[in-house]
Structure 1
Amino acid sequence: MIERKISKDNNFYYMTAALVIMLLSASLIKSVAAGMVESILEGIIAVTFLVCVVSLGVDKSWKRFMQILIVIWIALVVLKKLVFIPHLNLMMLLLMFAFFWGTFSSICRQILFSGSVDSNKVVGSIALFLLLGLQWALVYLLILAFSPSAFGGIDQGAWGQNFSQMAYFSFVTLTTLGYGDISPNTPFAQVVVYLEAIAGVFYMAIVVASLVSAGLAQKVSEQDR
């Protein structure tokens, strides 16, 4: 049903809504369902994956790869409930990163420096920004897994417990706000953090340049008709 409603004219609305709902849910379930945070979050992420795949169904090469990732993700979630496997959480974080990176790349091909500018593309640029912050949040979670003292202001725990806090820290860094309540302690973590700040600044410049140039080209094309 939802697949019939999603088209190339509105697909980024659904994707952006799914990403925002995922971020909001990750922050709310910590207080609502203590002890079940990871399980609920894994389900929410799986639904977000599905919405992303349907929303970007126009990109056939991307869609097949993402479908495989979703199947692996669901298999790992089920396997996690049945048996203990060392480093399974690291595999899930890497899988999430691969999915968000694939989604990010697909959106870039569809909206940057190509075609006319419309509201769907503007919303797509918001989805790009959210995906950029989520990818860095996953990198921080991976750093925490290998170096629990890499960040100050955050308690050591499972990735599901810290997902919301790392997402918050990532977007604060991406927008160069830097509140200071969470901070990098190790040299490697500090390098990754300032690289994200640089990426955030360049993202704004690239997206604005892309939308402006596409808008100007659209106006010129309309005037020539």
Structure 2
Amino acid sequence: MQRKITKQNNFYYMTAALVVLLLSASLVKSVADGMLETFLEGTIAATFLVCVVSLGIDKSWKRFMQALIVIWLIAAVLKRYTDIAHIDLLMLGLMFAFFWGTFSSIARQILFSGSVNGNKIVGSIALFLLLGLMWALVYLLILALSPNAFSGIEQSAWGQNFSQMAYFSFVTLTTLGYGDISPNTPFAQVAVYMEAIAGVFYMAIVVASLVSAGLAQKETQ
């Protein structure tokens, strides 16, 4: 029996898609060079599609995200067949806008609203993954504009560095700070400690949201 995406399970699909994206990015360097961009871009496009379908109930969000996907796909095709300068920056900017829109839509649905259930808890995980992915894109943009901004990683096509920057982003977001990749320039350093601050506050906000929603649910019952 085919399962439909509803308000009771939509975040399960989205979180699974984000995890698959991160796993796929980690496998990119083991893929043949000729298939590298196609492999990663195909995975990103599939993730976009799952996000749009999962959040189809948010109509104001859906049209904007659909437009972003179309523009991103056009940019991917232009990158493949033309030599337009800075097309990579455009693609990274569009990805950031898409993930930010997804983050905002999920936050409106799960933070400080409604009762607590498994879908909302999984949605909070999706929010955390999106937060890390957005900062990874910020670091990729910084690296593209300033090749010496980070030590431990060399400037190359963003697809080749996506997994490493996602790793660095989540290490920073969770305040682990292994030190194998570190910021060198003042702007990169500001971006890194701002992410660490965002990670700490995110945990506090999510816990407060779930606790308050849980208490409200008990009072209602």
Is this a same-fold pair by TM over 0.5?
yes
Q: CA deviation at 1:156?
A: 1.6
CA distance in 2, matches of 1:57, 1:77: 24
SS at match of 1:102: helix
**Stretch moving more, 103-112 or 79-88:** 79-88
Equivalent residue number for residue 213 of structure 2:
214
Query: What is the distance in 1 between the residues matched to 2:46 and 2:26?
Result: 17
The answer on 1:70 being equivalent to 2:69 is yes
Alignment of 1:1-225 (within 5 A): 5-222=4-221
Q: Give me the CA root mean square deviation.
A: 1.2
Instruction: Provide the rounded CA distance (Å) in 1 between the counterparts of 2:32 and 2:50.
Output: 24
Deviates more, 1:24-33 or 1:194-203: 24-33
Identity %: 81
Determine the C-alpha separation between the residues in 2 that align with 1:114 and 1:33: 46
Question: Where do 5+ consecutive residues of structure 2 fail to align?
Answer: none
SS at match of 1:169: helix
User: Does the 8 A contact of 2:115 with 2:213 survive in 1?
Assistant: yes
Bigger drift between 184-193 and 25-34 goes to: 25-34
Conservation of the 8 A alpha-carbon contact between 2:79 and 2:87: yes
Structure 2 Cα separation of the partners of residues 178 and 36 of structure 1: 32
Give the Cα–Cα distance (whole angstroms) in 1 for the partners of residues 176 and 34 of structure 2.
Answer: 32
- Deviation of 1:65 (Å): 0.4
Q: Name whichever of 30-39 and 117-126 sits farther off.
A: 30-39
Q: Deviations over 1:152-200 (max 9, x none)?
A: 0002201000000000000000000000000001111011100000000
Preserved CA contact (<8 Å) 2:28 2:160: no
The count of corresponding residues between Structure 1 and Structure 2 is: 221
Amino acid at match of 1:160: G
For residues 120 and 33 of structure 2, what CA distance do their matches in structure 1 show? 38
2:122 counterpart letter in structure 1: V
Segment of structure 1 superposing worse, 68-77 or 49-58? 68-77
Deviation at residue 35 of structure 1 after TM alignment = 4.2
Give distance in 2, aligned partners of 1:165 and 1:33.
Answer: 18
Query: CA separation in 2, counterparts of 1:38 and 1:179?
Result: 29
Letter in 2 for 1:185: N
SS in 2 for 1:36: helix
Give the Cα–Cα distance (whole angstroms) in 1 for the partners of residues 159 and 35 of structure 2.
9
Stretch deviating more after TM superposition (77-86 or 18-27): 77-86
Aligned AA for 1:26?
Answer: A
1:22-59 deviations in Å (ceiling 9; x for gaps): 00000012113334322211111000000000000110
